[in-house]
Chains A and B, each alone.
Chain A
Amino acid sequence: MPDWQELVRQRLTGLELDAAEREEVQMELAAHLEESYGRFLQQGLTEKEASHRTIEQVSDWQELRRKIDAAKRREQPMKKRTQQLWIPGFLTLILSVVALATLQKSGWQPHIASTAPNTIFFFVPWLLLLPFLGAFGAYVSSRAGGSRGSALLASCFPVPALTGAFLSMFPIGMIIEWVRGSQGDFSKVGATLLKDGVGWLLFPGVALLAGGLLRQLLFGQRSASPNATIR
């Protein structure tokens, strides 16, 4: 019986994988060839014929090596994630911020929902614009082949990004208070963060997500064409 392990090792030289992974691939392919060979013998083929039929399964070993390298390449899922989540997400974030800045520059004033000390600001024109931006984020993600989850996450991406920024303000604020020598009031800072969170995170988040959801419900099926699975 041919030494399948050795044959695979010789023919698959140049695999761009780490040593352990290369060894695994070689072992797996050798096991497959051995199994094929055994099956051909069971079918009544001579050893020579069985060897020939087994090796025949791979017409171009260098092509197989390239395909394995491409399939195992680590960057692929990362690249996909970038196209399906990070790019549409950041686009939504940038457009949301630009829209807010433009509206403020044009003289639109935020709407005050309640009186001090629990004042919550609502930027109504911005909130009305956000569903469209959310839908746009979901559209870009879907176009890149993103799942429904990725599309929805991309549509409301500004929320986790801004939440991170808001939450980082809490310890920074406390440090500033401490440096200035004044007693930090946790409850005051907490209350401020909470009410700002409602006005600047919760409602915008709902508006963005509503746009993303609506886009997915109306056009999600159409973009999921079988072409995505044909290579």
Chain B
Amino acid sequence: MIGSGIKRGTAELAVLSVLQDGPLHGYELARRIEQQTNGALRFTLAALYPMLYRMEQQRWIRGSWETSANGRKRRCYRLTPAGKQKLSPLRREWAELFRALQRLTKVEHA
């Protein structure tokens, strides 16, 4: 299990990466991240929404209300052009950090 400090730092990257595949509402977004990381990254409601609102204020994502096929209203988030722009340097920075940690700890697969 990954420690909470690292999780906080990777959270934005996780959200931006998952939203790159298409718009999602908060619950589905959290589920998708959990599935794709085999449970290593888990977002509770209390962790997820303040982060989504902050990212929305930074204009990396945009939320809008949509009605699903079963008539439920959900707020869907999608990546903005600014979010797309943010994603590639963020990926590069984290890859760099992990490579550095790998070299430092001499661990094969950090």
**Once the chains are docked, how many angstroms separate the CA of A32 from the CA of B73?**
11
State the CA gap A16–B32 with chains docked (Å): 31
The residue from B13, B27, B53, B89 contacting A71, defined by CB atoms under 8 A apart: B53
Bound CA span A24–B51, Å: 16
Contact (Cβ within 8 A) A77 B8: no
Interface of B is mostly: helix
Given contacts A24-B75, A36-B27, A230-B9, contact A29 B45 (CB under 8 A): yes
Which residue of chain A has its CB nearest to the CB of B58?
Answer: A77
Give Cα distance in the complex from A57 to B13, angstroms.
22
Interface centre among B25, B49, B51, B73 (most CB of A within 10 A): B49
Interface size on B, residues (CB 8 A): 31
- Inter-chain contact count A-B, CB under 8 Å? 79
- How far is the CB of B65 from the nearest CB of chain A, in Å? 8
1/0 contact string of B40-61 vs chain A (CB within 8 Å): 0000111011110110011100
CB-CB < 8 A to B25: which residues of A? Answer: 31
Whether A64 contacts B72 in the complex (CB less than 8 A), given A226-B96, A229-B9, comes out as no
Which residues of B in the span 3-40 have a Cβ within 8 Å of any Cβ on A?
Answer: 5, 8-9, 12-13, 25-27
Q: How far is the CA of A27 from the CA of B63 in the complex (A)?
A: 13
B45 adjacent to A57 (CB under 8 Å): yes
Count chain A residues whose beta carbon lies closer than 8 angstroms to a beta carbon of B. 31
Asked if A28 and B9 sit within 8 Å, CB to CB, the answer is no
- Chain B residues with Cβ under 8 A from A32's Cβ? 26-27, 45, 48-49
A49: Cβ under 8 A from any B Cβ: no
A-B contact pairs, 23 of them (CB 8 A): A24-B75, A29-B45, A31-B26, A31-B27, A31-B74, A35-B27, A64-B46, A64-B49, A68-B50, A68-B53, A70-B54, A71-B51, A71-B54, A73-B57, A76-B57, A77-B58, A224-B89, A229-B12, A229-B93, A230-B5, A230-B8, A230-B9, A231-B9
Measuring CB to CB, which residues of chain B are less than 8 angstroms from any residue of chain A?
5, 8-9, 12-13, 25-27, 44-46, 48-51, 53-54, 57-59, 65, 72-75, 89-90, 93-94, 96-97
Report the 4 A-B pairs with minimum CB-CB distance, sorted nearest first: A230-B9, A67-B50, A71-B53, A71-B54
